[in-house]
Structure 1
Amino acid sequence: MTTMFDTVLVANRGEIAVRVIRTLRELGVRSVAVFSDADADARHVREADTAVRIGPPPAAESYLNVPALLEAARRTGAQAVHPGYGFLAENAEFAQACTDAGLAFIGPPASAIALMGDKIRAKETVAAYGVPVVPGSSGSGLTDAQLEESAREIGTPVLLKPSAGGGGKGMRLVRDAAVLGEEIAAARREARASFGDDTLLVERWIDRPRHIEIQVLADAHGNVVHLGERECSLQRRHQKIIEEAPSVLLDEATRAAMGEAAVQAARSCGYVGAGTVEFIVPGSDPSSYYFMEMNTRLQVEHPVTELITGLDLVEWQLRVAAGEQLPYAQEDITLTGWAIEARVCAEDPSRGFLPSGGTVLALSEPQGGGVRTDSGLSEGVPVGSLYDPMLSKVIAYGPDRATALRKLRAALADTVILGVPTNAGFLRRLLAHPDVVSGNLDTGLVAREAEGLVPDGVPDEVYAAAAAVRLDALVPRPDAGGWTDPFSVPSGWRTGGVRAPLLFPLRVAGVEPVTQSAPASAAVTPTRVTVELDGVTHHFHRNGDWLGRDGDTWHVQDHDPVEASLSGAGRAGADTLAAPMPGTVTVVKVAVGDEVEAGQSLLVVEAMKMEHVISAPHAGTVTELDVTAGATVAMDQILAVVAPLAEAEGAS
């Protein structure tokens, strides 16, 4: 007879911390949240039974601070630590430190994390158990020259991958051998920043592949089962954005074979707990699948498996960590219905999916009727550039795939997050793409189709709604006696003249200003705007200058040409380099007076674990450089100016 923990510390933040806390509450287990100063008012802090501050905003000084986490567990009497995903979830040293401190680590043994966390050793280990692996480089600690040699032997295209970590961080697809050196350097830099380890490997790139993973669950008594597959082929920059279970690609025989391969991979490293074995599968031949890696933690997309199996994976993580034996064999696992998940992230599709930020001004997240939203959001909470951009996950369940797709599209249309640009509208349109509807997926689909799924400009009705809000603000409210001065009403009426509409100059960032009048049919309330334009009625959610509809949001502001010319925007031009996103300058490669070539890398800005290289717009001379490495910058902040050579010489 095992005894469940009394108190569990959740060593994470955001939606996964909220998700784990929910199951702890259902099991009657006391939850302990941890938080940095940036998250003092976060939702996971409020929903936990108790919370402990562990440091300042940077993750290295808070969520990655192992001594602070262990001290928080000691002070609160926690008996176990749940690492969530990200941060320290796949850190063998943290798992061992928990064990050494007398805490149960709710995850696999440190030895399994270390083995599977090294992608090179992992491939060698599972191959010995008969699991097929992707052809690639062999050996650890390869130099840049050795990596280039392996890549040339394999033949481009190849995929550069960090040996440590996962989640697509640091992965680089290289199709041109001439840029291998530059791509290796960039991959090492991202890997070092994300995982503290810049070891890389090279693998053959399989064109138009599908990404299918198998959920496994193992106890400490030698029992291992798989819970079916998840299709994760819809990705952008190697990051999954849509996941579903099961996959339309697999038949029962292939599902059973891949499931058994995943079970063998788990056995090969002495796995305990919930984990995921990831395979790359040629879409033209599903029976030819290759092991890519094992994620030794709970996956972001675990809810789709929960919905089709009826199992709470967090609960079984806890039960297994407490010593329980799995009560079911493989034949007891059944898959019922279909579930699809969409990851809502703080990024702006209209700006090339660059990370965004801001304060959540209005929030509405769908729940019920076959829809589940796992979220870490709450109104009034800021979304900064320090942590991962994922804000929430919207999951839909139905008896079949078509129903689940329809429910998820409707749920994304009902998702309202004002104040922070997100990809919710993009995801809704992606789910309506003919290839997605038909199940004809591959990992390159999003990259090929993304441009057509991002609206071109701002719809006219958005400006009309914004003008209606401006006009409503000018309307005087009745005094205490219920009387309104008719001469103060902004009707456009004038003595001896023709009624003229009031015009409002408006703009959305990155779009040319528009002059707009409010439609006579507009209706404005504190939270909604309804306008009729060309015989069509449009409903918007609103908060201040923010408008939202069907998952899309717009920040519409008044436009003053004089003010704009006097601000930093007035300096903008072909020679000016501005921050494309709020973040931190991590690399500065030039100084004032340096001559640069067109396209030369000058600076690197990082936000939400994503690097963006700032390159020279043309050949010239750096005449201004307004930042240094380590500086925090706002979106559109001027970073540098590169003057064409002739102009720079004339100025000197």
Structure 2
Amino acid sequence: MNPRHEPPTTAAATFTRVLVANRGEIAVRVIRTLRELGIESVAVYSDADADARHVTEADLAVRVGPGPAAESYLDTDAILAACRATGAQAVHPGYGFLSENVDFARALAAAGIVFIGPGEHAILLMGDKIRAKNHVAAYGVPVVPGLAEPGLTNEQLAAAAPGIGFPLLIKPSAGGGGKGMVVVDGPGDLAEALASARRTAASAFGDDTLLLERLVASPRHIEVQVLADTHGNTVFLGERECSLQRRHQKVIEEAPAPLLESLPDGADIRERIGRAAVAAAASVGYVGAGTVEFLVSDEAPGEFFFMEMNTRLQVEHPVTEEVVRIDGRRIDLVAWQLRIAAGQRLDFTQDDVTLQGHAIEARLYAEEPARGFLPSTGTVLAVREPTGGQVRVDSALAAGTPVPPFYDPMLAKVIGTGPDRAAALSTLERALAGTLVLGVKTNTEYLRLLLADPDVVAGRLDTTLIERRLPELEFATPSPATLALAVHLHLASSPRSGGPWGADDGWRIGGAQLLRLTAEVDGATHLLGATCDGERSTIHHAGETYSVAPAGVGSFAVNGLLLPVDSATGPDGTVWINHAGWCGAVSFPTRRQLLDRRLEGLGRESGTVSPQVRSPMPGTVIAVAVTDGQSVETGDLLLVIEAMKMEHRLTAPTPGMAEIGHLRVGDLVKANQLVASIGTEKETAR
């Protein structure tokens, strides 16, 4: 549903056509505000996104290249060409991609196109964590103790680490979003952590400069939204708490911060941290919407430390929009970005800003929490998003939407609001319960488990809570009835090519024949028997028999019991199903696939580890650590695959001689593709 914003005005109509240099839910969200303001929108898309929702919702759309972001959304020349071809007067970069790229901003300026963001000085200074930290400290903004100097080698950083103390945090100086950040508990882990962080920083940001910071005990992540015009006016719009993170990536965000709401002097701390954010922004002549992030110790909430400034719109900006009031009106941050870029003055002051109610946002990702949060790719087969007066959804989802491996896995953001935090939590839980995505795995169940955690309910948050809770989370598993339903749906959708002789339903003269099926779900294999008689199926599994038949739209009768079911079947026969608290996929490997697996195991002793190494996900090879014929030990790194901004390290399953073949950095691999194998010296010689 569309969020509730202040009434459109003609103030931003200085622009008549704006290009959105992004994709996914943020592109859809920006396009929505452009439409409300009567401004034409231009979308850009890669080959992988040709059928994406932001493309269909824009007034115009321009292809900018193939799937990989470096060849499309990060291609400055392609974006500029799209601007020229469509006559776009300004570019909204969203977040990620080119949003904090100073060369892109310069290129737009040179072409006479307005960059909807801050000036070059702010991007350059705040984009470098070392320079930013040293800069704001000079303006009285408190910073975390540590070492922030450019040009330091790993050896120099390691030598300084004991003086900072363990545990400590390694951070790339460039970039953001937690990418490349590594916690080091002791000196023995430091060398590998520095090497990993430096490689990630170089790959992700083109700058491998690192800094060290003291790890703050019981840390809470508080950030302040600022808004500044070109006339010297800067205000802060309350704060957000983003303490629920996994691997330094935010998962759930809310406004106002529960920490400040729970303290007798919370209003005073809010004022002080807000003024510090304004000072940091003003110190670089900031223009537009930006966010200043602080680290606050739960043990001493009156102290806060500057972390970084994000010189762009934040993913979590909707919670601010939902609670901030200007003279009783909601605020649209995208609309204000457009007005400010057009040279307009803020028409309110800090005294006009108030907070009303509470808002909590959950990020919906294409990933598998039960499998170590592996990214999930594919095509959305069915989607249902929640509605209601207290619910907001910022989404890129639609049936048929591709979810490729090249980009961030975020699909949507679900926001619950209410007069207080308890009401907002309840709204968000109901909204997530009503959210359905079939065709790719999502973290919906994981989000609901987090929201039910007693500490989350009580507002006792910190940035390590998720990592502590993960081992305790119990994910739902499919019931026998769910599995029977999946088999029935698979048989009902089997191809009918070749007439009755090509149908995979076991029909024979004189009655249906028992079919033997193998079903795979959540890493488990099930052997089943099934017969089909018209629309009815009989499933035999684990000594039980299940009779399944349709019982109206979205319902089936299983052994006479009426069950509501959401389902969709992919082109490969995989059944996606949502039933009885479990949502996932049931696949049915072919006899050819099963035979290949058996052949792979021939010649290997029972119980031994397979020497073959397969990619667990589709992605890009970003590092190859060995060469053909190199001797390796169990656990040695072979190569690193990246998909949806997640690195996956593939290691040797057994000692022997590595065989990598022709794989090189930059190569694309498919899920389950053989990428390496470990053989004996004799086998390698052959």
Q: Same fold (TM over 0.5)?
A: yes
Corresponding residue number in structure 1 for 2:422: 402
Equivalent pair of 1:2/1:323 in contact (CA under 8 Å): no
- Match for 1:510: what amino acid? G
Deviation at 1:542, TM superposition (A): 3.3
Say which of 465, 469, 482 aligns to 2:485.
465
Residue type at the aligned position of 1:547: I
Kept after mapping to 1: 8 A contact 2:615/2:670: yes
Out of 26, 37, 45, the residue aligned to residue 16 of structure 1 is 26
Q: Which residue, 201, 206, 211 being the options, matches 1:201?
A: 211
Does the CA contact (< 8 Å) of 1:492 and 1:501 recur in 2? no
Q: Does 1:122 align with 2:138?
A: no
Structure 1 contact 531–539 (Cα < 8 Å) conserved: no
Residue among 285, 292, 296 paired with 1:277: 292
Q: Which amino acid aligns with 2:487?
A: A
Give me the identity figure in percent: 54
Deviation at 1:297, TM superposition (A): 0.3
What does 1:610-625 correspond to in 2, within 5 Å? 610-622=646-658, 625=661
* Alignment partners' CA distance in 2, 1:256 and 1:626: 59
Find out whether 1:291 has 2:306 as its counterpart: yes
- Cα deviation code 1:138-193 (max 9, x no counterpart): 31121111221222321221111111110111111111322322211211211122
SS of the aligned residue for 2:242 comes to strand
Structure 1: distance between partners of 2:588 and 2:363: 32
Residue 187 of structure 2 is matched in structure 1 by 177
The structural deviation recorded for 1:317 is: 0.6
* Structure 1 residues 62 and 491: CA distance shift in structure 2, 3 A: closer
- Select the residue among 449, 470, 483 that pairs with 1:450: 470
CA contact (8 A) 1:423 1:552 kept: no
Q: How far apart are 1:244 and its partner, in Å? A: 0.6
Give the corresponding residue for 1:428. 448
Residue 372 of structure 1 contacts residue 394 of structure 1 at CA under 8 Å; is this kept in 2?
Answer: yes
Answering whether residue 232 of structure 2 is matched by residue 222 of structure 1, we say yes
Does 123-132 or 564-573 show the bigger shift? 564-573
2:620 corresponds to which of 569, 575, 584: 584
Please name the residue that 1:539 is paired with. Answer: 565
* Matching residue of 2:4: none
> 2:519 maps to what in 1?
506
**Kindly tell me: are residues 642 and 534 of structure 1, through their superposed partners in 2, closer, same or farther at Cα, counting changes over 3 Å?**
farther
Which residue of the partner structure matches residue 482 of structure 1? none
Counterpart selection for 2:672 from 631, 636, 641:
636
Comparing 75-84 and 445-454, the one that deviates more: 445-454
Query: Cα deviation per residue 1:507-545 (whole Å; 9 max; x = unaligned)?
Result: 225223243727757453797354658989563333341
Report the secondary structure of 1:102's partner residue: coil
Segments of 5+ residues of structure 1 without an aligned counterpart are 477-487
Partner Cα separation in structure 2 for residue 138 and residue 612 of structure 1:
29
Per the alignment, in what secondary structure is the counterpart of residue 289 of structure 1?
Answer: strand
Counterpart CA distance in 1 for 2:479 and 2:203 is: 39
Partners of 2:89 and 2:114 within 8 A in 1: yes
Please say if residues 54 and 62 of structure 1, whose CA atoms lie closer than 8 Å, have aligned partners that are also in contact. Answer: yes
Q: Distance in 2 between matches of 1:59 and 1:650?
A: 37
Indicate whether 1:370 and 2:390 are aligned.
Answer: yes
- Matched residue, 1:326: 346
CA contact (8 A) 2:133 2:148 kept: no
Contact 2:18 2:88 in 1 (8 A): yes
8 Å CA contact 2:484, 2:546 repeated in 1: no
Give the direction of change, closer, same or farther, for the CA distance of 1:182–1:535 in structure 2 (3 Å limit): same
User: 1:192: which partner in 2?
Assistant: 202
Cα 1:569–1:146 change in 2 (3 A) is: farther
User: What SS class does the counterpart of residue 515 from structure 1 fall into?
Assistant: strand
- Give the equivalent residue in structure 2 for 1:594: 630
| Aligned residue pairs, count | 636
Q: How far did 1:62 drift? A: 1.4
1:339 pairs, out of 359, 362, 382, with: 359
Matched, 1:257 2:272: yes
Alignment of 1:33-432 (within 5 A): 33-250=43-260, 251-309=266-324, 310-432=330-452
Q: Secondary structure at the match of 1:287?
A: strand
Structure 1 residues 385 and 590: alpha-carbon distance in aligned structure 2, compared to 1, 3 A threshold: same
Q: How does 1:538-577 map to 2 (within 5 A)?
A: 539-544=565-570, 545-549=575-579, 553-559=583-589, 563-567=593-597, 570-571=600-601, 573-577=609-613
Structure 1 residue 54 displacement after superposition: 1.5
Q: Structure 1 CA distance, aligned partners of 2:307 and 2:525?
A: 46
Please give the secondary structure, in 1, of the residue aligned with 2:134: helix
Could you tell me which residue of structure 1 aligns to residue 534 of structure 2?
none
Quote the Cα distance in structure 2 between the aligned partners of 1:91 and 1:147: 27
Question: Structure 2 CA distance, aligned partners of 1:520 and 1:550?
Answer: 16
Q: Judge which range, 513-522 or 450-459, deviates more.
A: 513-522
For the 8 Å contact 2:45–2:61, the answer to whether it is kept is yes
Secondary structure of 1:613's partner?
Answer: strand
The separation in 1 between residues aligned to 2:23 and 2:246, in whole angstroms, is 23
Secondary structure of the 2:355 match is coil
1:97/1:265 CA distance change after superposition, 3 Å:
same
- The answer as to whether partners of 2:519 and 2:526 remain within 8 angstroms in 1 is yes
Contact 1:228–1:259 under 8 Å retained in 2: yes
Shift of 1:503: 7.0
Q: Report what 2:554 is aligned to.
A: 528
In the superposition, relative to structure 1, how do residues 340 and 551 fare at CA in structure 2: closer, same or farther (>3 Å)?
farther
Q: Aligned pair in 2 of structure 1 residues 328, 489: CA closer, same or farther (>3 Å)?
A: closer
Q: CA deviation at 1:631?
A: 2.3
Tell me if the contact between 2:368 and 2:376 (Cα under 8 Å) persists in the aligned partners.
yes
Distance 2:130 2:119 in 1: 19
Local SS of the residue matching 1:447 = helix
d(CA) in 1 for partners of 2:526 and 2:579? 21
Deviation at 1:234, TM superposition (A): 0.7
Contact residue 623 and residue 648 of structure 1 kept, 8 A: no
SS at match of 1:198: coil
Return the alpha-carbon distance in structure 1 between the equivalents of residues 405 and 105 of structure 2.
Answer: 27
Q: Residue 246 and residue 550 in structure 1: after superposition, are their counterparts in 2 closer, same or farther (change >3 A)?
A: farther
CA distance in 1 between counterparts of 2:514 and 2:286 reads: 71
Which blocks of at least 5 consecutive residues in structure 2 are unaligned? 1-10, 261-265, 325-329, 497-503, 530-538, 602-607
In the alignment, is the contact (CA less than 8 A) between 2:546 and 2:559 conserved in 1? no
Question: Equivalents in 2 of 1:574, 1:456: separation in Å?
Answer: 29
Corresponding residue number in structure 1 for 2:263? none
Q: Is the 8 A contact 2:478 2:582 kept in 1?
A: no
Deviation at 1:567, TM superposition (A): 4.5
Q: Which residue, out of 439, 457, 464, partners 2:459?
A: 439
Residues 493, 334 of structure 1: alpha-carbon distance in 2 compared, 3 angstrom cutoff = farther
CA distance in 2 between partners of 1:364 and 1:635 (Å): 27
- Distance in 1 (CA, whole Å) between partners of 2:273 and 2:599 is 55
Q: Distance in 1 between matches of 2:158 and 2:342?
A: 47
Q: Note if contact 2:506-2:513 (Cα within 8 Å) is conserved in structure 1.
A: no
Change (3 A) 1:130 1:64: same
**Separation in 2 of the partners of 1:526 and 1:291?**
58
How far is the alpha carbon of 1:245 from its aligned partner? Answer: 0.6
